[in-house]
Structures are given as structure tokens and as C-alpha cells.
Amino acid sequence: MNLKGIFVPHITPFSSNGELDLTALRTCVQFWLKGGVSGLVSCGSNGEAPYLLREERIKVIETVINEVHGSVPVIAGTGSMSTKETILFTKDAKDLGVDFALVVTPFYFKLSNREIYEHYKAVLEAVDIPIILYNVPKFTGFSLEPAVIARLASENENVMGIKDSSGDLGTITEIARMVGERISVLAGAADLALPALMLGGSGAVIAVANVFPRLCSDLYESFLKNDHKRANDLQQLISHINEVLVKRHNQLSAIKEALNTLKLPAGYPRRPALSTPDEEKNEVENLIKTIQGKQ
């Protein structure tokens, strides 16, 4: 299993009373697979992982693995605020048979580079599983520095990739320069999917792929075929979708609203996140109609 292409950090469907809807999840998994994505990321940011109990994470990952049936890699988000809980979640993921664990930097307290390094080192020593480092400063409040990434990648053969969601092209460029030949560099911001590929990255893990998996996978295929015009046009379209669904509104709610508009059972966000208000819902519905008209 390699780490190349477009991966969908998929949503977790909940019922109106906040319970997991695993039947709906299976339906959505088939939609993403038919859309040609290179793999699925369970229990990530878009999967509302911080709101999931341990047993719920296990159910989600198990359901996805069974539904995918080995056709594409399954990556499980296993990061948490403490090293102890991160190791626990990562062991769960390994036992379930995931291909990679996506480990976000600890959040809430701001940590030093030394503390971040020791955290990842402890996880890597405790669980023998391929690890993808995850940098998402908009949620954690600080950035995983390229130098720390490079040190971890050079010292641990199980560090297989980095998902960088900083949204900063300079950061992606520096990461690709330092570790691009050793590990997979994946953009975590839809605006940088094509730029990251052009800079030597391996692909992207982007929220937009939940709703338009075929558009996103087509961008990657166009890049591989050196069809730069097509890839550029798709990047512009994907960036516009990202502006509405991820930047302008609560992405947890907006992405689910977009999927529901497409008649897919995305369900509801889990509280404290709320469903989109009517004015935002209208904007999402109009976006879907516009994009469908261009396909």
C-alpha cells in the first residue's frame, strides 16, 4: 500500500440524536470508492474524531475496513491530547488492521519541539505500524516544524508520510525539500493539492473529496498524464468548492449538508456543532447545482 493520490478524510454520519449511523457510513464509503479516491481516512478532523468515544472510533474503523475490503488503503486518525491515549488509539487501529495511522500533534496545551518529538518517538516505539504525521495548526494552535518532521523521518522507518494542513505553500515546499524523497508529502488543504504535486508531493487529503471525489481524483489523474490545462481547471473548481464548504462555514456541517443535498445519508454533525442554518443551506445547495452543471 503506497501513499499516492487523493485521499478522502471522510465524515462520520450521526443520527439526529447523535448516535453513530454505520449503515449510512457504508453507503457513503461506496460513493467515495466509486469516485476513484486512492484511500480513506477514518476518524480524522472531518470525521469529528475529537467527539468520538474510543468504542465509537473502533466501530467506525472496523466498518470502513470491512466495506473497503482491501481495495484501497485505510488510514485511521489515532492522535489525541495525551501520549498515553494516542498510543491506546494507535494500538486499536493496528489491531483492527488499518494500513496507516494518522497521528495529529497533541492539542490544547502548546508544546515545545522537544516535547512534540518525544511524543511521536514514544508512539513509534510503542506501536509497530506505519505512521503519517499530521500538522493542522488551525485546530491545534501551533505548527509541526519541518525540522522535527525531518528528524522523525530520518530516525524511524515507520514514519511513512506527513499530512500538512497549514495551507502555507512555503511550508509544503520546505517539507518536500527536506523529506520528499524519504516519505510521502500530502497536502491537507484543497487549495494546495495541485501546487503540492508540482513541488514533489505525493497527493492530498482534502475535505472536498467527501462531496466531489471524482473531481478530486480526476485532478490527480490529469497531473499524472501531464494534462496541465485540465489539472489547473480542476484545481480552480476545487478551490472554489473549498472556499464555500470549508473556509466560509463550519466545515463539519457544510460538508454534510452538501452530501445530503446529493441524496447521500451524511446525517447530522455531533454537538456542539449544529446543522447549517437556512441561509447557509441555500448557498450550499446553489454550489452543488453550479458544480453539477459544469461536470
Residue 74 resides in a domain? yes
Round to whole Å and give the CA distance between 54 and 13.
Answer: 16
Q: What is the count of structural domains for the chain? A: 1
The β-bridge partners of 20 are: 14
Range of the domain at 72: 5-228
pLDDT per residue as tens, the chain (295 positions): 689 999 999 999 999 999 999 999 999 999 999 999 999 999 999 999 999 999 999 999 999 999 999 999 999 999 999 999 999 999 999 999 999 999 999 999 999 999 999 999 999 999 999 999 999 999 999 999 999 999 999 999 999 999 999 999 999 999 999 999 999 999 999 999 999 999 999 999 999 999 999 999 999 999 999 999 999 999 999 999 999 999 999 999 999 999 999 999 999 999 999 999 999 999 999 999 999 887 7
From residue 261, alpha-carbon distances to 15, 83, 103, 284, 289 in Å are 16, 39, 32, 8, 9
pTM (two decimals): 0.97
Whether 27 is covered by a domain: the verdict is: yes
> Does 100 map to a domain?
yes
Active-site residue, from 120, 163, 220, 256: 163
Looking at residue 1, its pLDDT comes to 64
| Residue 229 is a catalytic residue | no
Judge whether 32 lies within some domain.
Answer: yes
* 119 domain residue, yes or no: yes
Q: Examine the residue annotation and report whether 268 is marked as an active-site residue of this protein.
A: no
Judge whether 286 lies within some domain: no
In a domain, 199, yes or no: yes
User: What is the Cα–Cα distance from 205 to 164, expressed in whole angstroms?
Assistant: 9
Identified catalytic residue from 120, 134, 220, 268:
134
Q: For residues 253 and 12, is the Cβ–Cβ distance under 8 A?
A: no
Does residue 265 fall inside a structural domain? Answer: no
Alpha-carbon gap, residue 54 to 85, rounded angstroms: 10
Rounded to an integer, what distance in angstroms lies between the CA atom of residue 159 and that of residue 232?
Answer: 31
Quick one: which H or E segment has residue 186? Answer: strand 184-187
Pairing of strands 5-9, 203-205: parallel
**41 CB-near residues (< 8 Å, 6+ apart):** 7, 8, 9, 10, 47, 75, 76, 77, 102, 205
Here the CATH number for the domain that contains residue 13 is 3.20.20.70
Dist. CA 22–CA 20, nearest whole Å: 6
